[in-house]
Amino acid sequence: MLSVAGLQSAYGPSQVLFDVELEIKEGEIVTLLGRNGMGKMTTVRSIMGLLQPLSGKISFGGRDTFGSAPEVVARLGVGLVPEGRETFSTLTVRENLVATAANRLQRSSPWTLEHVYALFPRLQERAGQMAGTLSGGEQQMLVISRALMTNPKLLILDEATEGLAPVIRAEIWNCIETLKQQGQAILLIDKNINVLKRLADRHYVLEKGKTVWSGTNQDLKDNAELVHGYVGI
């Protein structure tokens, strides 16, 4: 579904990505691991068209998307849940959800308000409330649901549980597990390796803008010390 090869990206004269390799197949949950500053966010921004890459290859669904505008990538079926949440703070919860709702891929059972309210009942309770007044956890539920309302083939979750209370984190993980059971392809960026090993199919590790390791959950278990050297504090 998504294929990234030899990706290089920079912010002005400062190059951040030097050789990123990544692949996600339909229905897979794949993680992107690494310490802060290793290029994870830049990789996401390059995939989404929010940053113009220098070189390499990016394709989605067999279509070359290297350098494509964000709206082009989104219309092809990539939904992003950005780090930092970024709700439409002056719109209500319901307005946030319907603002970008679409079913361009003509799914027979698309995400609707009823479906996301079933996934996160708290959003239905807050439907008429301004998004900017929600708690951090509620805002995270909202941006995940907003991305789902675009009915994406691939969902990118960038630090979806960072800074949240343990009970809210557990609710987000349960949501991701539900999405996995439904066959939703997901690229996950998070620091909780123990949970990621339970949910994900495969893993990629970034170090200084390069993919330095990749493997399955069993590979991760077999190479725990090596991987910890890349992602540990």
pLDDT band at 107 (very low <50, low <70, confident <90, very high): confident
With 0-12 / 13-18 / 19 or more C-beta atoms within 10 angstroms meaning exposed / middle / buried, residue 175 is buried
pLDDT above 70 (res 233): no
Going from the C-alpha of 177 to that of each of 165, 166, 172, 181, 231, the distances in angstroms are: 18, 16, 9, 6, 23
And the tokens for 222? 């077999």
Domain spanning 1-77+154-160+187-233: CATH superfamily: P-loop containing nucleotide triphosphate hydrolases (3.40.50.300)
pLDDT above 80 (res 4): yes
In single-letter form, the type of residue at position 47 comes to I
**Lowest-confidence region among 11-20, 57-66, 77-86:** 77-86
90-114: average pLDDT: 91
Whole-number Å distance between alpha carbons of 105 and 113: 18
Going from the C-alpha of 196 to that of each of 58, 171, 188, 216, the distances in angstroms are: 25, 15, 8, 11
Q: What is the pLDDT of residues 136-172, one digit of tens each?
A: 999 999 999 999 999 999 999 998 888 888 999 999 9
**Residue ranges of domains in the chain:** 1-77+154-160+187-233
Q: What is the pLDDT of residues 191-221, one digit of tens each?
A: 888 899 889 999 999 999 999 999 999 999 8
Neighbours of 42 (CB within 10 A): 23
pLDDT band at 86 (very low <50, low <70, confident <90, very high): confident
What's the confidence (pLDDT) of residue 181?
94
